[in-house]
Amino acid sequence: MQKKSLICLVVCLVAVCSMMFMSCAAMPEEPTEKPPTPPTPPKEEKTRTYVVAGSSIGGTSNLRASAVSGILLKYVGVDSTVITLASTLTPLGLHEGICDIGQSGSFSNWDAYRGEGPLKLEEPAPELRALFQDSQSACQLLVPVDSDINCYSDLAGKRFAIDKAGSNNEFHFKVIMGAIGILDKITITNLGQADAAASVIAGKVEGYSVSGMPPHPTWTEVDLLHHIRIVTMTQEELDAVRKAAPGWVRVVVSDAYHTGKTTILLGTSGECTTTTALPENVAYGLTKGFMENPDFVRQYYAYLADVIPLNREYVETATEGVPFHVGAIRYYKELGWTVPESRIPPEWSS
């Protein structure tokens, strides 16, 4: 009986082993080499974020810079960020790569480009390029409405605040007061917009000098509760400044703040400026976006919509200045405008 059971056990073991062998034989052999790993798709490059420079917060060049940033996003499809940089330092910022686009005065750009004049850099900046005019930057003296300052010469012996050191306004103020002959008779304090407003209200200074075109947001708020006015220039003062600084433009301001009068001022052209490094399509799109969308730019700064129609005269008659960017020239040519030979850069190819 035991012998019979042993035989049955052996038969079962043989059967099981046979089934396991057949099962293993039916399985496909693993390949000796692994299939190649598919290549990892390259990572997409991040979209470039452009840096736009504007002056002190609360001033008009900062509003202009914000408008440029808005145009770049809406009409060019590129990202940007706005930084604060004194207007007269914008050419330096562009030259050293701190910013890609900036708001600067035509005088600052021209001196930096040539390496000559009071606003020159340590070395010429031949790569500077203009895009369009976005301001007639008028120098304004803002005083309380009951102030005894009625013309620029009345500042002699006064304590007066001006914009921050290195600003376009500091340059404007010193040129004007120097030409009139009273610069050394004024006690000058450099202050930002908010600090200056507080100082004027408190009576610590007689008034404040800003450059740009009204309304300035900071001073519009001041005017709501503490009425201010803009001091007008006399014809004698206008003639003295224009003789000392040819190229300044006469600017007429109507009904600013609580004066209800027409004010005569002097100023310079404010330019949206860049360098040859800005891609042509971005320069073209930015220029086109600014020129063709007054309602959009008005949301940032009301005066911008008013300066757009002044650009044809600026482009066609301002023969002394940094060359225009090739992207801007392409747009102006499409409009049928004539760009002076002196402002066509060497990289332009018609």
Instruction: Provide mean pLDDT across the span 109-116.
Output: 92
**pLDDT of 57 above 50:** yes
Query: In this structure, is residue 79 part of a structural domain?
Result: yes
282 exposed, middle or buried (CB, 10 Å; 0-12, 13-18, 19+)?
buried
Query: In this structure, is residue 27 part of a structural domain?
Result: no
**pLDDT of 214 above 80:** no
Query: In this structure, is residue 251 part of a structural domain?
Result: yes
**pLDDT of 230 above 80:** yes
The dihedral through the CA atoms of 116, 120, 125, 130 has a sign that is: negative
**pLDDT of 1 above 80:** no
pLDDT band at 258 (very low <50, low <70, confident <90, very high): low
Segments forming the whole domain that contains residue 244: 49-343
How many structural domains does the chain have? 1
Q: Say which CATH number the domain at 173 has.
A: 3.40.190.10
Query: In this structure, is residue 218 part of a structural domain?
Result: yes
Instruction: Provide mean pLDDT across the span 7-32.
Output: 46
**pLDDT of 2 above 60:** no
pLDDT band at 40 (very low <50, low <70, confident <90, very high): very low
How far the first Cα of the chain sits from its last, in Å, is 112
Residue 166 is predicted with a pLDDT of 80
Residue 3 is predicted with a pLDDT of 45
Cα separations (Å) of 126 from 73, 273, 322, 332? Answer: 28, 13, 8, 22
Cα separations (Å) of 152 from 158, 186, 191, 228, 252? Answer: 11, 11, 20, 16, 16
Query: In this structure, is residue 133 part of a structural domain?
Result: yes
**pLDDT of 148 above 60:** yes
Query: In this structure, is residue 21 part of a structural domain?
Result: no
**pLDDT of 252 above 90:** no
Query: In this structure, is residue 102 part of a structural domain?
Result: yes
The dihedral through the CA atoms of 26, 31, 34, 38 has a sign that is: negative
Residue 330 is predicted with a pLDDT of 97
Least confident of 137-141, 149-153, 273-277, 329-333: 137-141
**pLDDT of 14 above 60:** no
Query: In this structure, is residue 312 part of a structural domain?
Result: yes
Instruction: Provide mean pLDDT across the span 248-272.
Output: 73
Q: Which of 190, 166, 169, 193 is nearest to 89 (CA)?
A: 166
Residue 218 is predicted with a pLDDT of 79
128 or 163, which is more confident? 128
**pLDDT of 316 above 50:** yes
List, for residues 173-201, the tens digit of each pLDDT value.
999 999 999 999 999 999 988 899 999 99
138 or 51, which is more confident? 51
Residue 78 is predicted with a pLDDT of 96
3-class SS of residue 252: strand
Q: What percent of the chain has pLDDT over 70?
A: 83
Residue 256 is predicted with a pLDDT of 65
**With contact defined as beta carbons under 8 Å apart, do 71 and 65 qualify?**
no
Instruction: Provide mean pLDDT across the span 64-69.
Output: 95
Instruction: Provide mean pLDDT across the span 196-219.
Output: 87
**Ramachandran assignment for 268, one of left (phi > 0), alpha (psi -120 to 50 degrees), beta (any other):** beta
List, for residues 268-305, the tens digit of each pLDDT value.
888 999 999 999 999 999 999 999 999 999 999 888 88
246 or 101, which is more confident? 101
List, for residues 317-330, the tens digit of each pLDDT value.
888 889 999 999 99
Across the chain, what does the average pLDDT equal?
84
